[in-house]
Structure 1
Amino acid sequence: MPRRPQPTARQVRLGAELRKLREAAGLKAREAAALLGADSVQMSQIESGIAGVSETRVRRLAAHYSCTDEELIGALVTMATDRTSGWWEEYRDHLPTPFLDLPELEHHASYRWDVDFLHVPGLLQTADYARGLFTFVNPEFPESDVERWVEHRMKRRIIIERADPVPYEAVIHEAALRIRVGDRAAARAQLCRILELSEVDQVVVRVIPFELDGFGGAGSAMVYAGGPVPQLDTVVRDSPNGPVFVDAAAQLSRYRTLFRRVEAVSLEPERSRDFIHRLTKEL
């Protein structure tokens, strides 16, 4: 297959998972390459996502690696053969690659969890709220660029609005709900939008109030995207240069535990709706 000048995060993840299976089998790259009639350079390109790999080769490698997890193998085959060209591709010449990898990850997710303490999660934001964020953080952006970023963020909501929505749970700290990114009217509209979405099937919103005692989890903000099998889950963390994708097994386990702990201390969905409704009355 032809080399890719800039592989997507999904393509890189496929290669990384194949490398993990090879290393678990105790094989060197050149030994695995020989199984495919290839050389070590080609194997390196496959494992880095620079070169694609066919279903036949994925299954052949899995067999030689003594991998018997059929669900995992099937998921890797899907990653290798899926040719989905989603709506995010229209932004390829306008936004950095990590911001295109994010909606692709969301598109394929089996579920999605958000934990946020300072901002309303992106999937719940109104256009005015998103515009306020982008304008403040990037004051040098011309209006046309800001609107492109806002449009991109609004389109990402499709995963909870489509006919087969991704099950979604957001845990939001009271601080994020009270910080006024825009004016009073925009803040009220944002809270009303959260209330509206919290009534939708497959969407759960929970609130962590300021008054909670003994809460030390404010550093656990995350986006957690469930894969077709747990080994293919992904955590997304913010960084100054854009989203960072985390997929090491030990880290995934840690973030799953963190989410459950944060979820456990948050208000139940009905109480959370009542809490947000009270905040709207203050505006």
Structure 2
Amino acid sequence: MPPVSNPTLRQRRLGAELRKLRERAGFTVTQAAAHLGVNQGRVSMIETGRSPLSADRVAAMASAYDCVDEDLVSALSAMTGRRTRGWWEEYREHLHAALIDLAELEHHATGLRVALAMHIPALLQTTDHARALFRAVVPSMRQYEIEHRLTHRIKRQGILHKESPPPYSAIIHESALQMGFGGPEVARGQLRHLLDMGELPNVTVRVIPFGAEYYPSTGQSFDYVEGAVPQLDTVQLDTHHGGCGFLDAEAQLAKYRAVLDHMESCALDTTASRDFIQKLGRDL
């Protein structure tokens, strides 16, 4: 199969995980190539996601690297082949590549946990709220850019409504709920939408009020995207330049899981959170 000139996040992640297996086995690229019967360039292309792989090749590499984690090997094998021609591909020429990667990442997620201090989670935003956010971006977006971002965001929200949707847990600080993007009417509509989304069986919305004694976060928003196995989880960080940062090192994943667990421990439960959002809506 010819090399991939522009590998997706999923293809790059497969290569990175195979590199981790090689390094744990104590193999250099040269040694791995000799063991696998390929040249060094092929190993390098595999590890950067630029060489399409078959499930059999992944299994052979895992065996060569003495990986006995059958669940991990099975999950990696499921990531093989050419990129999925999902709906996000139509935006590749219009949006930052990281936003395309994020949509693909969410599409394959087995669960999502998000924490936000200043904004409503993207997958829970109304169209009017999202449009108001995009109009406030610096530097200003042109109208067609806003519409591309808006339709992309709304299509991302489809994962919460598909057949067998992934569980979605959102921890939202009161400061995000108090932000009046778009004016009072838009803000009220957004709060009503949060209440409606919280009624879905796969969606959990919990609030951390200003009065909480403990808030274990620096205020940065992040998504924790669960993979088929814990080793394939990913943390997505929002960045000021409009893209997305992705973290997948084991220590980083453990840190953000701990942060989410602590945030959940100081958040209101779902019933109290619902009452809290309802009161904010009445007070607007």
Deviations 1:29-84 (A, max 9, x none): 11212233221111111101121222121111101111011110000000113753
Q: Residue 126 of structure 2 aligns with which residue?
A: 126
Whole-angstrom distance in 2 between the partners of 1:165 and 1:268: 22
Whole-angstrom distance in 2 between the partners of 1:107 and 1:31: 36
Q: Residue 252 of structure 1 aligns with which residue?
A: 253
Segments of structure 2 that go 5 or more residues without pairing to the other structure are: none
Q: Residue 5 of structure 1 aligns with which residue?
A: 5
Whole-angstrom distance in 1 between the partners of 2:139 and 2:63: 54
Q: Residue 263 of structure 1 aligns with which residue?
A: 264
Cα pair distance change 1:230/1:65, threshold 3 Å: same
Segments of structure 1 that go 5 or more residues without pairing to the other structure are: none
Q: Residue 40 of structure 1 aligns with which residue?
A: 40
Alignment of 1:234 onto 2:234: yes
Would you say the 8 A contact 1:35–1:61 is kept in 2?
A: no
Whole-angstrom distance in 2 between the partners of 1:215 and 1:148: 35
Would you say the 8 A contact 2:116–2:176 is kept in 1?
A: yes
Larger mean CA deviation between 131-140 and 196-205 belongs to 131-140
Would you say the 8 A contact 1:177–1:191 is kept in 2?
A: yes
Whole-angstrom distance in 2 between the partners of 1:121 and 1:104: 17
In the alignment, residue 160 of structure 1 is paired with which amino acid? L
Whole-angstrom distance in 2 between the partners of 1:116 and 1:222: 7
In the alignment, residue 250 of structure 2 is paired with which amino acid? A
Larger mean CA deviation between 159-168 and 186-195 belongs to 159-168
Whole-angstrom distance in 2 between the partners of 1:142 and 1:221: 25
Whole-angstrom distance in 1 between the partners of 2:161 and 2:90: 20
Instruction: Classify the secondary structure of the residue corresponding to 1:164.
Output: coil
User: Cα distance, 1:202 vs. partner?
Assistant: 0.7
Would you say the 8 A contact 2:222–2:236 is kept in 1?
A: yes
Would you say the 8 A contact 1:220–1:258 is kept in 2?
A: no
User: Cα distance, 1:96 vs. partner?
Assistant: 1.4
Aligned pairs, number: 283
User: Cα distance, 1:2 vs. partner?
Assistant: 1.5
Would you say the 8 A contact 2:36–2:64 is kept in 1?
A: no
User: Cα distance, 1:112 vs. partner?
Assistant: 0.2
Which TM-score applies when normalising by structure 1? 0.97
Cα pair distance change 1:83/1:215, threshold 3 Å: closer
Alignment of 1:88 onto 2:88: yes
Q: Residue 26 of structure 1 aligns with which residue?
A: 26
User: Cα distance, 1:220 vs. partner?
Assistant: 5.3
Deviations 1:105-142 (A, max 9, x none): 00110100010000000000011111111111145322
Question: RMSD of aligned C-alpha atoms?
Answer: 1.3
Instruction: Classify the secondary structure of the residue corresponding to 1:19.
Output: helix
Q: Residue 281 of structure 2 aligns with which residue?
A: 280
Q: Residue 65 of structure 1 aligns with which residue?
A: 65
Cα pair distance change 1:26/1:139, threshold 3 Å: closer
Instruction: Classify the secondary structure of the residue corresponding to 2:80.
Output: helix
In the alignment, residue 15 of structure 1 is paired with which amino acid? G
